[in-house]
Structure 1
């Protein structure tokens, strides 16, 4: 739910947009706005997550500052988004953590890293920790498999539970009423295509504008790089688990094996994507941004880049005496990342997917209604 002072401002600005609709071609948010009569709080939450923050509308708007209307859609919807994350957070107590999200993400990562390093130093003999290990089971000679898998599994279960219940709450609030199964079946491929291609970061074809001037597809490409990298890292971990539990093949694996190749490529894509997005944010014009949301975004991007980079470091030093410390650092960052997910900017991903699904359903309904009207006119 938008905060009390955010909702009226969002309605004021979006009513102006409904009367203008000059930006209708930039992304799905404006056509969705055009289909709405009332702007309930749930509608505002839906539009806020449907907005991908490409900022093209701000630089194209004739009513932006210094105009007296002071229309700033990206900044306003960013604030509505932040409030919706807090409203639907699970457990509810996590909602307050979005107010100082940068500190929360940084503290979570720092605590996890310190605990991982401290536990490793205290529990692993120095002759094992600072020795070179080679061959099957080398990693587990430093950190036992039960510890490594147990910590990661517990953090992952917590992350999935928190994100899943928060997204379910968000979907219950924004879902369209009485969706026929045939409409849902047709809408799902559209929504999936929008999610995978990030169509709404294309700015209607011109790309995102970080500042006044020509748009670029760079932010879209970096975002896709980061998501693909994260997916490949998950694949690497899953395949490694399959190798170990089903086939009895213990890590570390050869460089040309599927888990190592997917982890290597994924780590590079994740690190480049996250670091590139951080640099773009530093170059972005401040006017369309909501300052209170930037700390959490920057901290999460930095954490993602650190996870990817330390994974690459572990691969690079796995045959040396530095492997033990690098592995403990990487494990701490991964656990810290998973632990903070339900109270971080990452919730935008499932929330945006839900908003895109509602949008696809509404587009299917609008198309069906148009066809019915055309049929009546022909008769």
Structure 2
């Protein structure tokens, strides 16, 4: 049983709509939200937080519903759950003020931070000249680790604390290994962007099904994971096998990094275009600009990484390195306050759902 928190306006409207949906149940087989909804007769705020994070905003229910405007019920469940979902990320990770600032002026904040961090990186290389090869001719390995390890780990700690609050708020039972297996399988295939039935979703083509959004999301997700794998393999090669960078073209860090960077650039360009085709009324309108700013930041990070590979050994390399490191630092430090946090919450919601079904 989830906790019943003091209701806020997003939860009140979502509760009104989900109670109507629970009485109708026409969309029962569409995605993970509706089977989870049918377990309850009344909905505490924690229940709504859980349903909202199970929702992938495929919008299939909206285009199948007989109670949307101009009906007097005026249902818009994708938008109602999007507001609760966004509220949960901001409230549980916090501070809300930082997340709201980014989603109000995300592009400007991201650009300012990238340029600012790039200037700091350039200044550091001038003050502390390095003597290594490749990138390490500009900044030593130890200095990079000292700068980026806290920038990466501290935001993850903030997100982990938010996920712990989510678990307590939704009243999910203790998880088991099998819950992870089921949730990861769904996340890897993005089942809930496929309407649960292999038909695609209705994000950009209204009542026509399309797999475009699922494919682009997978492109970005796997591109990011490949980039992370590139960094991880380089770390293992450096510390475990005493093989410091630079690495040849046909090495795990280069192959994984280039492939991941290309996927990030293609995926983010596609998702940015897709958002311009979708109806903004069926999402959380107030965060549209912040989501576009995050997409641009992620794409720039991947693109600057590819440019850095191409510029190695040229006079442009120091400038591109500073910009790339500035973009990476910005991605890390803003992680709890951008759309990046949705991946952590979605996976946690899927794990919690598997645990709840196992207990039932």
* TM-score where L is the length of structure 2: 0.91
Could you tell me whether the CA contact under 8 Å between 1:42 and 1:173 is conserved in 2? yes
Checking the alignment, whether the CA contact within 8 Å between 1:6 and 1:80 is kept in structure 2 is yes
1:6-46 C-alpha deviation (Å, 9 max, x unpaired): 22211111111011111112101011001112200000000
C-alpha separation in 1, matches of 2:259 and 2:341 = 25
Tell me what 2:140 maps to. 144
User: What's the CA shift string for 1:348-367, capped at 9, x where partnerless?
Assistant: 1121112111211233344x
- Secondary structure in 1 matching 2:48: helix
Tell me, yes or no, if structure 1 residue 232 matches structure 2 residue 264.
no
> Per-residue deviation at 1:246?
2.8
2:20 to 16, 19, 26: 16
Picking from 179, 184, 203, the partner of 1:187 is 179
Q: CA contact under 8 A between 1:102 and 1:298: conserved in structure 2?
A: no
C-alpha distance in 2 between matches for 1:267 and 1:286: 29
Note if 1:109 corresponds to 2:119: no
Query: Given the alignment, which residue of 7, 21, 33 partners 2:37?
Result: 33
Match of 2:353 in 1: 359
The change in CA–CA distance for 1:104 and 1:172 in structure 2 (over 3 A counts) is farther
Q: CA deviation at 1:197?
A: 1.4
Deviation at 1:206, TM superposition (A): 1.6
How does 1:1-379 map onto structure 2 within 5 Å?
A: 4-89=8-93, 92=94, 94-103=95-104, 105-106=106-107, 108-124=109-125, 137-177=133-173, 179=174, 184-203=176-195, 204-209=197-202, 210-366=204-360
Secondary structure of 1:281's match? helix
Q: CA deviation at 1:214?
A: 1.5
The corresponding residue for 1:370 is: none
Q: Give the CA deviation at 1:191.
A: 1.6
Structure 1's unaligned 5+ residue stretches are: 367-379
* Alpha-carbon distance in 2 for matches of 1:88, 1:188: 22
| Counterpart Cα distance in 1 of 2:65 and 2:58 | 13
Distance 1:205 1:231 in 2: 24
Q: CA deviation at 1:115?
A: 3.3
Residues in 2 aligned to 1:86 and 1:169: alpha-carbon distance in whole angstroms: 12
Cα separation, 2, equivalents of 1:145 and 1:325: 18
Taking structure 1 as reference, are residues 195 and 350 closer, same or farther at Cα in structure 2, changes over 3 Å only? same
Give the conservation status (yes or no) of the 8 Å contact 1:211–1:285.
no
RMSD: 2.2
Aligned equivalents of 1:75, 1:138: Cα separation in 2 = 48
CA gap of 1:115–1:150, structure 2 versus 1, over 3 A, is farther
Superposition deviation, residue 88 in structure 1: 0.6
- 2: CA distance, partners of 1:250 / 1:112: 29
Q: CA deviation at 1:279?
A: 0.7
> Does structure 1 retain, via aligned residues, the 8 Å contact 2:60–2:207?
no
Residues 82 and 98, structure 1, Cα contact 8 Å, conserved in 2: no
Q: Distance in 2 between matches of 1:116 and 1:17?
A: 48
| Per-residue deviation, 1:251 | 1.8
Q: Are the aligned partners of 2:217 and 2:267 in contact in 1 as well (CA < 8 Å)? A: yes
Q: Structure 1 residues 120, 169: CA separation in 2 closer, same or farther (over 3 Å shift)?
A: closer
Aligned equivalents of 2:79 and 2:255: distance in 1? 40
Per mean C-alpha deviation after superposition, the further-off stretch among 313-322 and 283-292 is 283-292
**Larger deviation, residues 106-115 vs 194-203:** 106-115
40-49 vs 338-347, which deviates more? 338-347
Distance 1:147 1:278 in 2: 35
Deviation (angstroms), 1:116: 3.4
Contact 2:49 2:84 in 1 (8 A): yes
1:307–1:330 Cα contact (<8 Å) kept: yes
SS in 2 for 1:149: helix
